[in-house]
Structure 1
Amino acid sequence: MSDTVKQGKNTAIVSYITIIGTLIAFSMNMEAKNEFAVFHIRQAFGLWISFFALGFLIGHANSIYATMGLYIFFIILLLYGFTGALSGKKQMVPLLGKLFQKWLGFI
């Protein structure tokens, strides 16, 4: 495991623990700008923003099946990213990971 991964691992892990954890990880990484942490902060922030946006849209459908599908899909993607951070890998979340890295370049 490289020094970059070792130094950014804790910040990367924190980024997946609620939206507040993502904001805390973002502030923790302001000075250091660790590449590994930035990668995972982008992935986690993108997941949370997508969750809230889709939740807003699905909320208007008033369907328990759509809501449960959203939660299951979100939890699976969040766990996928979290396990990547735990294992020290830069693995993008399926479907949207590349877009998160592109769209959230300001992080």
Structure 2
Amino acid sequence: METTHSNTNALEGKTIALIAYLTILGLIIAFIMNAEKKNAFAKFHIIQSFGLALTGLALGLLNYIPYLGWLINLIGVCILLYMWIMGLMNAINEKTKPVPLMGEFYIKWFNNI
């Protein structure tokens, strides 16, 4: 009976974690879904996704700077896409591995979420 509960708990955490990586709306939905369940796996991926979203917002603001901002934005978006794919793959594979480059910072900065 307990194994079923833990499997259900793990499945709920994985589902919430995957939803967190699906757009900003998915991140908000995952945050709300995990508010009462408090699944540690889901929280880890919500933090990673939140960090990626804020990084994307910062890159978007750089786009307003002519030429140099556009170049930094283009390179940054490619790196951000790579980081997002790695985070999503970690959620799919049920790993709590931080996204490359910024993942450790996201954990430190947003751990209180």
| TM-score, normalised relative to structure 2 | 0.84
Aligned residue among 23, 29, 34 for 2:28? 23
Q: Which structure would you say has the larger Rg?
A: 2
Residue 39 in 1 paired to residue 44 in 2?
A: yes
Inter-partner Cα distance in structure 2 for 1:94 and 1:5: 24
1:18 Cα shift? Answer: 0.7
Inter-partner Cα distance in structure 2 for 1:24 and 1:65: 33
1:5 corresponding residue in structure 2: 10
| Matched positions, count | 106
Inter-partner Cα distance in structure 1 for 2:57 and 2:66: 15
CA root-mean-square deviation: 1.6
Inter-partner Cα distance in structure 2 for 1:72 and 1:57: 14
| TM-score, normalised relative to structure 1 | 0.89
2:103 aligned partner, one-letter code: G
1:99 Cα shift? Answer: 1.1
Percent of paired sites with the same residue: 37
- Structure 2 residue runs of 5 or longer lacking an equivalent are 1-5
- Structure 1 residue runs of 5 or longer lacking an equivalent are none
